[in-house]
Amino acid sequence: MTETRRNSRALCSDFVRIAWIDNRLRRHCSVGLLEDVSPGGMCVALGASVPLELNVLVQAPGLSLMAAVRHCERGNYGYLVGLEFLGGHLWDKAKWRPKHLLEMPSGAQP
């Protein structure tokens, strides 16, 4: 798989809620584990597959924003879902921090 990230990511862990409406207008909601976050997006481990290019609502205490599903692949314990923030939203750790955040030294990549 080709690396397409524009920003470095920070390893982290926290629960997030992902909600979406499918093409049959059915509502879905899944709580997942945040794996990593960057200024432009995040990766969440979910128990459910989410269709590519679908817009989803991402929520956690102190966080609520829209994101687009950019990749969804089967992992060891469910699905890894890559999300790109929409509407000009950028992650700012001064405004919202996951419960567990691994701070990387400047220039280091996880």
* DSSP output for 19-52: EEE-TTS-EEEEEEEEEEEETTEEEEEESS---T
pTM for this model (two decimals): 0.82
Please determine, for residue 17, whether its predicted confidence score (pLDDT) is greater than 90: yes
* Level-2 CATH architecture, domain 10-89: Beta Barrel (2.40)
Residue ranges of domains in the chain: 10-89
Residue among 72, 22, 66, 78 at smallest CA distance from 41: 66
Confidence grade of residue 1 (pLDDT, cut at 50, 70, 90) = very low
